[in-house]
Structure 1
Amino acid sequence: MTTTATRPDDGRSRAAIAAKTLRTDRWWLPPLITFLGLAAWVTYATVRVFMHKWYYVDDYHYLTPFYSPCLTDRCVEGSAEFGTPLPSFWLIPEAAFTLPFLLLFRLTCYYYRKAYYRAFWLSPPACAVPDAHQKYTGETRFPLIFQNIHRYAFYAAGIISLINTWDAVRSFHSPGGFGFGLGNIILVANVVMLWAYTLSCHSCRHIVGGRLKHFSKHPLRYRFWLLVSKLNARHMMLAWITLGTLALTDFYIMALEAGWFSDLRFVG
């Protein structure tokens, strides 16, 4: 016999389901993979940021994005393009001015919100699966109200991408003159992916064409809006790709400076 419960609004009845979810697929797998992936990247990045070594290859002017721009007086010679205004203290990373803004851009990103809300907070862990929290106030209270500054973090991310672009260009002009190696390819590829991810941001799409009423009167902005819209459709993919290119770039430069292997040179 089926137990029923009466709905007071229209008088109809429905089955009283005791199970938390009727999903029989592996709904828990995507949030688990996301949790493991993000946790591994955060662990690696945290360790690298506070190692304070193996971040700059002077022979080829390779500077890892995790340490760019290098701003403490602990920076090795040649790595500080913009001076060293910060003191050398273990808790102060070399890129102390840029890392908070970079982290803020990622944390407030619309995709990453979905990713860590589901994977870390289980809020909710998947579609048609109950939230692990009894109350939900949205992004209207502390600390989640700060998610609303994502549009401003986008501008900071643009500046950081410009700095990384400068590092990639600078790496072609090593102390020995013009040079080109595998490290250059990795640095340039990372910068291209960072720009693609930054420009695919929902805030960027809104800034480009969100307030336009007549695209025909703004043909250049319309074309850029179309480009950004295509990138925006791949925002999740670009978010993960850039985590990979950042880690790969850092690891390659660390390995070169640590002497684990040599850079594959094509010119110079």
Structure 2
Amino acid sequence: MATDTIAPGPEAPAPLSPARAQIEQKTLRTDRWWLSPLLTMLVLVAFIFYATFRAFQNADYYTGNLISPFYSPCIATKCVPGSSLGGFQPFGDWWAISPALLILIFPLGFRMTCYYYRKAYYRAFWQSPPACAVAEPHGKYTGERRFPLILNNSHRYFFYAGLVFNVILSWDAVLAFRNPAGEWGHMSVGTLVLIANAVLLWVYSLSCHSCRHIMGGKLKHFSKHPLRYKGWTLVSKLNHRHMLFAWVSLFGVALTDAYVALVANGTFSNPTFF
């Protein structure tokens, strides 16, 4: 009786290794893999120190027609006169500390839960892992299922809040076209600074992974949703440069605050064009 024969197929894949290869070296990489996480840590630490100092300084955040993004909208009654957004000040005199602390929690929460920034500070501060193909010092990995990292799941809600603040900061840029007397048709270096800051924050927000998912997620047929497909396409192009926009906008918001502070404390005047 003839018997069927089966041609030998490709070999089965080798089972996954249960642990890291037993080598003494932390990595076999020969490049300066440690430079990127080191620079990331130094920049983030510098920004944290600067933002903390400015938040508790509670001074030099408003002058004439310019307001720092760290303090906008200023919603405490102890804000500098004229700095509130249309007189909206729901927090009474009981709020004795800096009004910036009422604001920074939202942009800070947006950046802390951002997908890119997670990668950045996980590598820089926790070495989880410090770089590709470099062993991390942790004995186990629990992901983002436990406190505090489980709070990163709130990223989408901070994204929504960030859009609100982008609108407010854009309006601040519009108001910068007024002179200190409240007359329109004025333009200064500070006006351009506030405009640039608002644009950078919009680009950073719109390049966000959550924004991309909101535009095109949960769709089975793009052909049935042409507007969302167009939006998803545009956001996807921005998403490719999300890391760049994250850093540029971070520097932008710090430099904008520094410029307003220097003008407010009289270090130099705000040059005007007309």
- How does the TM-score come out when normalised to structure 2? 0.88
Select the structure of larger CA radius of gyration: 2
Give the structure 2 partner of residue 27 of structure 1.
33
- Equivalent residues, number: 255
2:72 partner letter? S
Q: How far apart in 2 are the matches of 1:249 and 1:186?
A: 6
Q: How far apart in 2 are the matches of 1:135 and 1:183?
A: 50
The change in CA–CA distance for 1:18 and 1:50 in structure 2 (over 3 A counts) is same
The change in CA–CA distance for 1:248 and 1:9 in structure 2 (over 3 A counts) is closer
Give the structure 2 partner of residue 50 of structure 1.
56
Q: 1:215 aligns with which of 201, 218, 222?
A: 222
Report sequence identity in percent: 56
Shift of residue 164 of structure 1?
0.7
Shift of residue 233 of structure 1?
0.6
Q: How far apart in 1 are the matches of 2:105 and 2:22?
A: 48
Where 1:223 maps in the other structure, the secondary structure is: helix
CA contact (8 A) 1:71 1:96 kept: no
Give the structure 1 partner of residue 165 of structure 2.
160
Shift of residue 88 of structure 1?
5.5
1:63 aligns with 2:67: yes
Shift of residue 86 of structure 1?
2.5
Give the structure 1 partner of residue 231 of structure 2.
224
Where 2:102 maps in the other structure, the secondary structure is: coil
Q: How far apart in 2 are the matches of 1:211 and 1:203?
A: 13
Give the structure 1 partner of residue 137 of structure 2.
132
CA contact (8 A) 1:196 1:238 kept: yes
Q: How far apart in 1 are the matches of 2:103 and 2:28?
A: 46
Shift of residue 100 of structure 1?
1.1
Q: More strand by proportion, 1 or 2? A: 1
Where 2:57 maps in the other structure, the secondary structure is: coil
Where 2:100 maps in the other structure, the secondary structure is: coil
Cα deviation per residue 1:35-61 (whole Å; 9 max; x = unaligned)? 001111111111011111100012xx1
Q: 1:263 aligns with which of 244, 254, 270?
A: 270
Where 1:120 maps in the other structure, the secondary structure is: helix
Shift of residue 221 of structure 1?
1.5
CA contact (8 A) 1:71 1:84 kept: yes
1:35 partner letter? M
Cα deviation per residue 1:161-196 (whole Å; 9 max; x = unaligned)? 111111111111232412101110110011011000
Shift of residue 90 of structure 1?
8.3
| 1:1-268 aligned within 5 A | 16-58=22-64, 61-81=65-85, 82-87=87-92, 92-174=97-179, 175-178=181-184, 179-267=186-274
Where 2:244 maps in the other structure, the secondary structure is: helix
CA contact (8 A) 1:71 1:95 kept: no
- How does the TM-score come out when normalised to structure 1? 0.90
Q: How far apart in 1 are the matches of 2:141 and 2:25?
A: 21
Q: Which contiguous aligned blocks of 4+ residues in structure 1 show a shift greater than 3 angstroms?
A: 87-92
| RMSD (Å), alpha carbons | 2.0
The change in CA–CA distance for 1:41 and 1:16 in structure 2 (over 3 A counts) is closer
Q: How far apart in 2 are the matches of 1:218 and 1:231?
A: 20
The change in CA–CA distance for 1:258 and 1:9 in structure 2 (over 3 A counts) is closer
Shift of residue 112 of structure 1?
0.2
Where 1:105 maps in the other structure, the secondary structure is: helix
Q: How far apart in 1 are the matches of 2:15 and 2:89?
A: 68
Q: How far apart in 2 are the matches of 1:105 and 1:55?
A: 22
Q: How far apart in 2 are the matches of 1:200 and 1:262?
A: 35
Q: How far apart in 2 are the matches of 1:131 and 1:88?
A: 49
Q: How far apart in 2 are the matches of 1:243 and 1:91?
A: 28
Shift of residue 211 of structure 1?
1.6
Consecutive unaligned residues in structure 1, runs of 5 or more: 1-7
Give the structure 2 partner of residue 4 of structure 1.
none
